[in-house]
A and B are shown apart, each in its own frame.
Chain A
Amino acid sequence: MSHRLSDEHEALRKSVEEFARDVVAPQAEHADRTGEFPYDVIRQMGEMGLFGLPFPEEYSGMGGDFLALCLAIEELGRVDSSVAITLEAAVGLGSMPIYRFGTDEQKKEWLPALCRGEALAAFGLTEPGGGSDAGNPRTRAVLDGEEWVINGSKAFITNAGTDISNLVTVLCRTGDRADGKPELTSIMVPLPQPGFSASNKYDKVGWHASDTRQLSFDNCRVPAANVLGDRGRGYAQFLSTLDEGRIAISALAVGLAQGCVDESVRYAKEREAFGAPIGSYQAVAFRIADMETRTYVARCAYRDACDRMLAGEPFKREAAIAKLYSSTIAVDNARDATQVFGGYGFMNEYAVARHWRDAKILEIGEGTSEIQRMLIARDLGL
């Protein structure tokens, strides 16, 4: 098992690293402060093909793979989590289910604009009443002639309220199964849509420039043909979407952890106290060495999970481990980086302060740390 990148993957990583450093990083503080969605950065990412990385060229994709996507997310996450999560959610949650489960027609209709980054798709699973127990939604869809009528609401949904959001796939209860469990179906709701509304942006702790909203469906009608793949497959679809998504979120967490190392190393060489650079004091140097160690191990974990997935091997446990570990160490690194920066680490305009605020959600979104532990324990037969 080797996690050295191929020449092509390394070239892509470098290309995104340069883009992140030259284009994304300079706007990160402004976007964080104002909460403005970074349309211009997203457009340029679209031109670079980042939104089409894991999809075939026939859908305007780049013909790459999931690892290519993870590398792009990791490099963006080093400098700006809001931009990285916008890509992660757009591809991992928005486009991927359409590519995996959609009919030929649905793929042809939706993927090209999504791959070019001209449009964003969202995935609505979580509800105000609960996210961890996602197999039990209250949002209902009832077939009325040739149309689904959707009623209910979804909470904390990424990418559904931007000017270029054109689709949200919603997990709905469409009936009851013989075993008493709800029948769940993913229904594609093109945006805008009568009966659909998105709230104002939430006032969040971090990820300020990422678009997160509550969605309401009030007798929202869409054609019966808008079922993603097959009726009743919603539960299986989102479970498998989330398994993959964990690897991508893990890549984002590793990016943030690395960004904390980058900033800390630079600052520890520059900043002087008691007549010497603070990095010359072991307490600071060892702290940063630990940050680097955790980042390295977390990176190995997500790349291994990704390898297994691409090889068609079982990868659920490894994906859960990667997500759990990398999000934990992202929070650790962000806390340690702010410590290295002293008072400046508590100032919002500093990247490490932003990383600190952006890190916490990684332990919550796409399955909380508790849910990851449940998955791992269950896989161990407990």
Chain B
Amino acid sequence: MNIVVCVKQVPDTWAEKKLSDSDKTVDREGVEGVMNELDEYAVEEALRIKEASGGEVTVLTMGPEKAVETIRKALSMGADQAVHLVDSGLHGSDALTTSYALAKALETIPHDLVILGVESTDARMSVIPAMLAERTGAAQLTFARKVEVGDGTVKIERQTDTGYDVVEAATPAIVSVVEKINEPRYPSFKGIMAAKKKPLTTLTLGDAGIESEKVGLAGSGSSVAEFSARPPKQAGQVVKDEGDGGSKLAEFLASQKLV
């Protein structure tokens, strides 16, 4: 089974994230870029499927030049090759336009399965998997906590609030994974050295047949109107246990509509 894993470079989860003042997009220059955490699980799952039943794993990344660091990481984890969609015209793309661009790029890579993380830590929209499925006409299997591939089929356990659903579809399919699914490996030095020699194709808008007016800031259907810094953390509320600690806690949770 040939698998494409969509991998995104995001600002370091541990760093302070900023929006740039000029065009209100995420400032990716000032901070260190890392692989979106959930995408590590996606890569790991693809590698496990490949190791169990063969096929090739291709990494697909849309992002600036700098995103190549993240592509290298996926390759050093064990992916076979990578496609990097990189074009200044893509800057500022929202979820809708990103899904269009990724769908076009996917057309250039023969595959049975697309795996991605359920969301990225920078934008947290969690809509790309569904949009991609819609655009490519592939089956949509989201929030997978377990994936099993058969002959031309894929079956997942779909994480729900109360348990899980079993969902099965014929390939081609788009699977998004949650972090419960596995424990991603750390690249070994051998993997890092091997990654240097793996094929990395770069695609421009033209190469992927992407119409430039449909992507980027201008092509996006949504835009950031205004933003402001998160208010400073408020002091917490201390509940003193005078025999009724339990019910006070329950009251608090209820007042926050958490229970």
Contact = CB atoms under 8 A, between A and B. Distances in A.
Interface of A: 7-8, 11-12, 15-16, 18-19, 47-49, 53, 57, 62-64, 68
Given A11-B73, A11-B76, A49 B196 contact: no
B164 interface: no
B189 to A, nearest CB: 4
Contacts of B192: 8, 11-12, 15
Contact of B188 (A7, A18, A48): A48
A33 B186 CA distance: 27
A64 B76 CA distance: 14
Contacts of A48: 185-186, 188
Interface centre among A19, A49, A53, A68 (most CB of B within 10 A): A49
8 contacts: A8-B192, A15-B192, A16-B186, A18-B186, A47-B185, A47-B188, A49-B189, A62-B190
- Please report whether the interface of chain B is mostly helix, strand, loop or mixed according to DSSP: helix
Given A16-B186, A63-B189, 6 more contacts: A8-B193, A12-B189, A12-B192, A19-B186, A62-B190, A68-B189
Contacts of B73: 11
A306 B72 CA distance: 26
B186, B189, B190: residue with the most chain A Cβ atoms closer than 10 Å: B189
Contacts of B55: none
Interface residue SS majority, chain A: helix
Contacts of B219: none
Contacts of B193: 8, 62-64
A64 B189 contact: yes
A380 to B, nearest CB: 37
A49 B76 contact: no
A49 B193 CA distance: 13
A48 B189 CA distance: 8
Contacts, number: 43
B187 interface: yes
Given A8-B196, A47-B185, A63 B190 contact: yes
Nearest to B191: A49
A8 B189 CA distance: 8
A11 B190 CA distance: 11
B187 A11 contact: yes
Given A8-B193, A8-B196, A63-B193, A49 B72 contact: no
B188 A62 contact: yes
A358 B72 CA distance: 36
A62 B76 CA distance: 13
Contacts of B190: 49, 57, 62-63
A159 to B, nearest CB: 22
A19 B185 CA distance: 9
Contacts of B189: 8, 12, 49, 53, 62-64, 68
Interface string B164-195: 00000000000000000000011111101101
B41 to A, nearest CB: 13
Contacts of A47: 185, 188
A47 B187 CA distance: 10
Contacts of B186: 15-16, 18-19, 48
A208 to B, nearest CB: 25
A161 B3 CA distance: 46
Contacts of B187: 11-12, 15
B150 to A, nearest CB: 29
A378 B59 CA distance: 56
Contacts of B76: 11, 15
Nearest to A18: B186
Closest 10 CB pairs of A and B: A49-B188, A62-B189, A64-B189, A11-B192, A15-B187, A62-B190, A19-B186, A15-B186, A48-B186, A12-B189
A63 B189 CA distance: 8
A292 B192 CA distance: 29
A59 to B, nearest CB: 13
Contacts of A16: 186
Interface in B133-176: none
Contacts of A18: 186
Contacts of A7: 72, 196
Contacts of A49: 188-190
A239 B192 CA distance: 33
Nearest to A65: B189
Nearest to B193: A8
Contacts of A62: 188-190, 193
Contacts of B188: 15, 47-49, 62
A66 to B, nearest CB: 12
A48 B186 CA distance: 6
B11 to A, nearest CB: 15
A18 B193 CA distance: 18
Nearest to B190: A62
Interface string B187-225: 111101101100000000000000000000000000000
Contacts of B72: 7, 11
B232 to A, nearest CB: 14
A49 B77 CA distance: 13
Nearest to B69: A11
A350 B20 CA distance: 37
A382 B185 CA distance: 52
Nearest to B187: A15
Contacts of A53: 189
Nearest to B77: A15
B24 to A, nearest CB: 28
A277 B185 CA distance: 38
A64 B189 CA distance: 7
A205 B153 CA distance: 58
A57 B186 CA distance: 19
A63 B192 CA distance: 11
A29 to B, nearest CB: 20
